[in-house]
Structure 1
Amino acid sequence: MRIPINLASEPFRRDRPILIASGACAMLLLAMLAVLVFLIMGERANARDSRIAVEKLNNQLHVINAEQAKLDATLRQPANAMVLERSLLLNTLVQRKAISWTKIFADLEGVMPMNVRLIQVRLPQITSRSEVVLDMTVGSQEPLPVIDFLKRLQASPLFGPVTMHSSAPPTQNQPLYQFRLSVNYAQKL
C-alpha cells in the first residue's frame, strides 16, 4: 500500500491552470475594452458631426423664419392686404374649379354596384393638405349593396377611408335605405 507524504510546509496546489485561464480571460477582457473604447470614440465623433449639422440647420431655419416674417409683414401692410385677400380668393376658386365633376362621377361609377343609387353629392371640400373629401348620400332597397359599395370604396386606389355620418330607413316618401358618408378622393389637383 502506498501512502502519499508531503514534506512541504504548505500543501501542494494545482494553481497553474487557474492562473493561465485567469490571464487569458484578462487578455480577452482587455481586448474587449479596447474595442469598446474605439467604438465609443467613433460614436462621439459621429455625435459631434450630428450636433454641427443640427446647428447649421437650425441657423438656416432661423434665417428662413426671419425672411418669412419680413415677407409676411410686407404682405400684411394695408396697401398689400387687399391684394393678398383677392389672391387667396382667386387661388381658392381655381383650386375648386380644378376638381372635375365628370371624373368624380366616372370614378364613382367604376366602384358603385348596380343596385346602389347616388342620391346627392355635395361640393367637394379641400383640406389643408390638398386632399379632396367627397360628402355624398347613397341609397339602396337593402343595406347589403351599400356595405358592398363601402368595401369597394375602401379597396379602390382612387378613394380612401370612408366615414359614415348617418343612415335612415325607408319612408313613404323615400323607399330606399339612405346612407350619408364622406370619403377621401385621390383626384390630383
Structure 2
Amino acid sequence: MTPEQERLILSLVTMPGQTGRGSATPQELLRAFGATDGPTLCRDLLAAAVAERSAVDVELTLIMSFTLGLDRSALPALRELAREPWHGSHEDIAVLLEEVGGAEVVDDLEFLAWAGPEFQNYDGSTSLAKKAAHGLERVATPEARAAISRLRHHHEQEIRDLVERMERRQAP
C-alpha cells in the first residue's frame, strides 16, 4: 500500500479527543486503489497480506473492510488468519468469521476461543475468547452448540460463566 492509501484507511479510525479530521468515503477508498467493488478489493488485499505475512496490511485491510465490507469469498484468508499468531487482529477476525461465515467457521471460532497467549492482545485477556464464543452462539448450528458446550472446561472462569449464561438462554 502506498502512504496515501494508508492515510486514507487510517482516516477511518477515530481517536478520543480527535477533531477536524474527516473520514475517507467509500468512493475515495475505491478510487485510491483503482477498484470498483469494496468486498472484492478487501478480499484481494487480505489475501496479499496473508501471502506476504504483513501484520500491518492485515490490520489496515480489516479497518477498511468495516467500511467497504467483506463477503464469503474472503473466508479462506480469514480462516487462515484465525490460526496464525504473526498478526494481532484475531478479535476482528473472530467477528468477521461470524459475520461472513456459517457452519464452516465453527472450528475456527472454537480454535480462537481456546487460543493461547500468542493470540491475545495482552496477558490475561478474555476478549478474544468472548468474541469467539458469541460468534459460536450466533452461528447456532448443532456443531456450534457442541463447541460452546466444550467451553464449559475453559481455563478462564469468566468464559465458563459466559457459557453458563449462553446455555441458560438456549434452555427451553
Give TM-score scaled by structure 2 length.
0.24
Q: Which has the higher helix share?
A: 2
Q: Which has the higher strand share?
A: 1
Higher Rg of the two aligned structures: 1
